[in-house]
Amino acid sequence: MATITLRQEATELLQELIRVDTVNPPGNETRAAEILREYLGDHGVAAELYAKVPERANLVARIPGSGRGPRLLLLSHTDTVLADPSEWGVDPWSGELRDGQVWGRGALDMKGQVVASAVALASLAREGFEPAGDLIFAACADEEVGDGFGLQWLCEAHPEAVRAEYCVNEGGGDRLVLGGRVFYACSTAEKMSSPFRITVRGRSGHASRPGIADSALVKAAPLVQILGDFRDEPELGPEVEAFLKAVCGEVPAPEGAIGAARAVHPLAGDLIESLLGTTMSPTMIEASKKRNVIPARCEITVDCRILPGRARAAVEAQVRELLGGVDFEFDWIEGQGGTRSPIDTPLWDVVESFVAEIEPQAEVVPLLLSGFTDSHWLRQAFGTVAYGFFPMRAMESELAARLIHSADERIDLDDLELGVRFLRHAATECGSLRSDR
């Protein structure tokens, strides 16, 4: 019988996983979790399913450690965003292998990393790997929507299943060529997703007689423009500061940061543009339900992202100052994320050592995410050092960014194999650390 390579093993498992439709909503992640449980079981790794409701299971598997070292969690999610088949060149759930790439919804976000984590765990188990601390693999539900079926629920209901000192998750690994130098981005922090709602009130009336009404929609219109034009006073957090020092050779003043980064490469400026302060993007508006009724009430929903460590009360004060002179009601809708992990940790050393192995001239730089991932649940619950890193060299980072959540999503097999190599490296290097380091 021919020996199957880790590349082939990962390719076949990824194709199988993509063929399971886990678009969220509704998710149906249990089907994916069962495939992973069966695969891991075939290689001697026991896995448990944890489910708030039967159809939305989370899988947790582990190679037990001796207890002499820290635990490492390989974190991922099995749900995906939707896909419109009419926009695709292949069936989004075909898992088609074409020109050395696996196509399908979730290939990049993030069933590729799910599979790489599973194969890393299974292959290490076959080799008899015995870590100092538990090596844990979690393939969670409900990351894309966040309705409380995934990692958030696990941290609350089954904390010991996912408690770990270190975690590798999504959100980084892009290979960037800036100013003729090579960098790999490792995400160590994320902004808080904190959308809010502005409500403006007026007096309703018949649309044929606008003079006797007081349209809330018309009163709200200037507010939409003001919020859309908002640009915060720039400040440099530790992640952006370290990124700029590496890329530019020095740390520029906050007001000159974008220009200094763009002078090295336009992409460098684009990467930090939304990371220097609070951003506000009006995205939804609701007013009259009928064409001939002037609305007495208008709601504006604003997607707001706040720097780690900044208080929402300060942001609300900014909004009220911006929109001064107009009566409105302000309500926060939610607040998630806004966490960071330190950069100077043993896990950072692990990432650097892998990059030095595959591309010695490259440098690892920290990245603050403008969005958020499941990492923040671990940071909040356990103080976990959580990084986003899944290295990609074959596919350019700008193309990968365009394909995520879009049509014709796909992953290069070279990158899938590289991901398996990195996760094995992380497991073995972290597995040798002592708790008292």
Q: What is the CATH number of the domain that holds 217?
A: 3.30.70.360
Sorted by sequence, the CB contacts under 8 Å of residue 424 that are 6+ apart come out as: 120, 123, 124
| Per-residue model confidence as pLDDT tens digits over 38-90 | 999 999 999 999 999 999 999 999 999 999 999 999 999 999 999 999 999 99
pLDDT value for 437: 42
User: Quick check: is 169 in a domain?
Assistant: yes
**Number of domains present in the structure of the chain:** 2
Strand order across the beta sheet in which 101-103 lies: 97-98, 101-103, 410-412
Check whether residue 114 and residue 201 sit in a common domain. no
Q: Are residues 384 and 372 in the same domain?
A: yes
| Rg of the chain taking only CA atoms, in angstroms | 24
Does 270 share its domain with 155? Answer: no
The tens digit of pLDDT for each residue in 351-396 reads 999 999 999 999 999 999 998 899 999 999 999 999 999 999 999 9
Average of pLDDT values for 150-159? Answer: 98
Whether 65 and 141 map to the same domain: the answer is yes
Is the pLDDT score of 10 beyond 50? yes
Whole-number mean pLDDT of the chain?
96
Q: Is residue 315 part of a domain?
A: yes
In this structure, are 208 and 149 located in the same domain?
A: no
Q: Is residue 187 part of a domain?
A: no
Same domain, 168 and 214: no
Tell me: do 228 and 130 sit in the same domain.
no
CATH of the domain at 109: 3.40.630.10
Position 320 pLDDT exceeds 80: yes
Q: Point out the domain boundary residue: 279, 303, 337.
A: 337
Contact 309, 325 (CB under 8 A): no
The angle formed by the CA atoms of residues 355, 358 and 360, to the nearest 5 degrees, is 70
Residue 22 has pLDDT above 80, yes or no: yes
Average of per-residue pLDDT across 208-220: 94
Q: Is residue 185 part of a domain?
A: no
Averaged pLDDT, 195-220? 95
pLDDT level of residue 436 (50, 70, 90 thresholds): very low
Question: Whole-angstrom Cα distance, residue 191 to residue 198?
Answer: 21
Last residue of a domain, one of 289, 319, 337: 337
Map tokens 């709200």 to a residue.
Answer: 220
The residue among 47, 407, 41, 387 whose CA lies nearest residue 184 is 387
DSSP symbol at 3: P
Same domain? For 404 and 366 the reply is yes
Query: In the listed set 337, 357, 373, which residue is the last one of a domain according to the structure?
Result: 337
Place 1 in a pLDDT band, splitting at 50, 70 and 90: very low
Q: Are the C-beta atoms of 239 and 326 separated by less than 8 Å?
A: no
Looking at the fold, whether 196 and 297 belong to one and the same domain comes out as: yes
pLDDT band for position 432 (50/70/90)? confident
* pLDDT at residue 318 is higher than 70: yes
Mean pLDDT to the nearest integer, 268-276: 97
Task: Examine the domain organization and report whether 351 and 328 are in the same domain.
Answer: no
Q: Which residues, 6+ apart, have CB-to-CB distance to 101 below 8 Å?
A: 107, 410, 411, 412, 413
Same domain, residue pair 43 and 157:
yes
In a domain, 184, yes or no: no
| Residue 215 domain boundaries | 192-337
Domain assignment of residue 310, yes or no = yes
Whether residue 431 has pLDDT greater than 80: no
- What was the pLDDT predicted at 435? 57
State the average pLDDT over residues 330-349: 96
145 and 256 within one domain: no
Measured between its terminal Cα atoms, the distance across the chain in Å is 44
